[in-house]
Chain A
Amino acid sequence: MTEPLLRVRDLKTYFVTEQGSGTARAVDGVSFDVRPGETLGIVGESGCGKTVTSLSILRLIPEPPGHIRPGSFIEFEGRNILTLEPKELRAVRGNQIAMIFQEPMTSLNPVFTVGDQIAEAAIVHQHLSRAAARRRAIEMLQLVGIPDPEERVDHYPHQMSGGMRQRVMIAMALVCHPKLLIADEPTTALDVTIQAQILELLERLQAELGMAVMLITHDLGVVAGTADRVVVMYAGQVVEQAPTVELFAHPVHPYTEGLLAAVPRLDAPSLSLRTGGRGRLHSIPGQVPAATAWPDGCRFHPRCPYAWDRCRAEEPPLLDASQGDAGTHTARCWLVTEPQRRTRRP
């Protein structure tokens, strides 16, 4: 197995809340690897810590109120990002690791042309001249499939549609050919047809440029189509981690199981569709607990259909549930040790 490009170990990002009512443990001991050239999907519902994890990797967490706890470790190509000097850190941002954000409508600066904004990273990192940077911006616009790039390069963000702006965001992120692209819900704000186009574009660019992609999403459909491996997050922790095919075929953690059951499907009756075809879509009961007060024991136990005494008392570690090579599939659930307890269907 190749050396991972990015190695995250025991990442803890906490926020001190305004009223002093406690510390929100938004990301609480997350570990995962991203290998060169692969697509890693990170899945979870709102508030599970996906975005905070991605912001932590580039150290973009606003401090205060947030801080990354000592003991956390984020290694990129053998260097610990958490101990980099500001200048070294800026040399990594946008150059080695780039990020695209969720909201293409607000992530572009309204007072500059898109060409200026695409060129910015090239000027910052590669010290290109303005003319060369402009040519580069036109190339990038062409690469991300925007028609008439020579003309579009001088347009302002408000002259473009949401899908085009997201293409511009991708062009901005890829100007310096980063080794890792973090895409934080890149398609959430777009409608379904545009979403498919953008995902296709990302896949094509990944193949052309040979970069790794960390795809953060709450949409399992997006992950199924694009990711090689998936990390499922819940309540600030990784609850399950497996190759995509295996995860969809044999989910171990009840949360993953619930998520998969909650995806509406046209082709096959989902787990929760009752006979007669007028069944209701499955939902996981309850809500994500507050980040200031995670439940004791397993953090999913109040919503888990299988929970028993041990789940309430003892927090499970990530247990090996691999069917093939050891360590490829792990889940944070006691069911791994006591599979006979999986009795009721969720």
Chain B
Amino acid sequence: MNIWNWVALGGAAVAALLVVAVVRRRASASASGRRFFRHPTAAPGLFVLAFFVTVAVAAPLVAPYKPYQQIDIDHLQNRSPSTRNVLGTDPFSRDVWSRLAYGARISLGIGALAMLVAVTIGGAVGATAGYFRGWMDAALMRLVDVGLAMPRIFAMLVVVALWDHIAVPVLVLLIGLTGWFATSRLVRAEVLSLRERDFVAAARALGAGPGRVIGRHVLPNAAAPIIVSAALGIGNVMLLEAGLSFLGMGVPSPAPSWGNMIADGWPKMAVAPWSATFPGLAISLVVMALNAVGDALRDALDPRKEAV
């Protein structure tokens, strides 16, 4: 790891601090923003997220090696952390830190994109069911019941097992398509109460069609709980991806994801604990940060706390 990598890494930390400072400044203008930062773990959580996102974006700068580069397969396997390989090397003589940095792209990316898919579908289904009620509601919610009753990881294993290698976009879709059930329940509940509000009746009296009423009057008012559940959900998706990758069913090697890094490292856990421990730590840190930020968002966006 050369001096420029260290500078870049320091830069990532500074950038993350700056993000926290800027967000804090912006947020202090509103009551809910101040509530967000009153949560003790909100700022550290935001810092951790901003840091890993910066590292993911700047991976070529902070990582000294290519993620799949085998530095010296004869002499450099399972090396302990040193100035040259800060987090050591894995059983295939790859730099753990470099893989961790590039792996952030895949793990965070899958988490965010799969959640986006899930929230989009869950939001659309929940809004449709809640707004139109009647048979549409009944049919969609029975479908959701089926989805919630399905053991997700086994269902995914079945699908994944049909192919020997699975492309990352397919994995994203798969996780997203099996993860929207709870979101749709949540959105439906919000929509059921919002559709009875006076401003929705007023919009209908103005001649707005169902699409316009849902898109402009109902969903924007349901944004807060959806955002909170998405923030909390990304952590779950990342854990799921890690679990699948660990089982060898997720992101295919040699592309680095934090899950398959653990899978690569764990057979040598006794002699070279670093190659499985550090990606494990990264997952834990990010998921904890997401939960902290999600909790703080929930507190901040809950209108019942407006008086505080």
Contacts and interface: CB of A to CB of B under 8 A. Distances in A.
A93 B207 contact: yes
A94 B216 contact: no
A121 B206 contact: yes
Interface string B190-216: 000000011101111111110010001
Nearest to B223: A111
Contacts of B206: 93-94, 98, 120-121, 124, 172-173
Interface stretch (A33-41, A101-109, A338-346): A101-109
Interface in B43-91: none
A90 interface: yes
B151 interface: no
A173 B207 CA distance: 10
Nearest to B219: A111
A101 B221 contact: no
Contacts of B201: 60, 101, 107
Contacts of A109: 199, 203, 216-217, 220-221
Interface in A82-101: 86, 90-95, 98-99, 101
B202 A101 contact: yes
Nearest to A93: B207
A109 B202 CA distance: 9
B235 to A, nearest CB: 27
B202 A169 contact: yes
A117 to B, nearest CB: 8
A183 B33 CA distance: 39
Binding site secondary structure of chain B: helix
B198 A101 contact: yes
B199 to A, nearest CB: 4
Contacts of A98: 205-206
Nearest to B212: A124
Nearest to A118: B206
B202 A107 contact: yes
B199 A99 contact: no
Interface string B263-294: 00000000000000000000000000000000
A67 interface: no
B202 A111 contact: no
A125 interface: yes
A103 B203 CA distance: 14
A110 B216 CA distance: 11
Contacts of B205: 58, 60, 93-94, 98-99, 101
Contacts of A112: 216, 220
Contacts of B221: 109-111
Contacts of A107: 198-199, 201-202
Contacts of B204: 60, 93
A121 B209 CA distance: 11
A90 B209 contact: yes
B207 A106 contact: no
Contacts of A108: 199, 202
A109 B216 CA distance: 9
Contacts of A91: 207
17 contacts: A60-B201, A86-B209, A90-B209, A94-B205, A95-B207, A99-B202, A101-B198, A108-B199, A109-B199, A109-B220, A111-B223, A112-B216, A120-B206, A120-B208, A121-B206, A124-B208, A172-B206
What are the 10 tightest A-B residue pairs by CB atom distance, in nearest-first order?
Answer: A94-B207, A94-B206, A93-B207, A107-B198, A106-B198, A99-B205, A109-B199, A121-B206, A90-B207, A111-B220
Given A110-B221, A121-B207, 5 more contacts: A60-B204, A93-B205, A106-B198, A109-B203, A172-B206
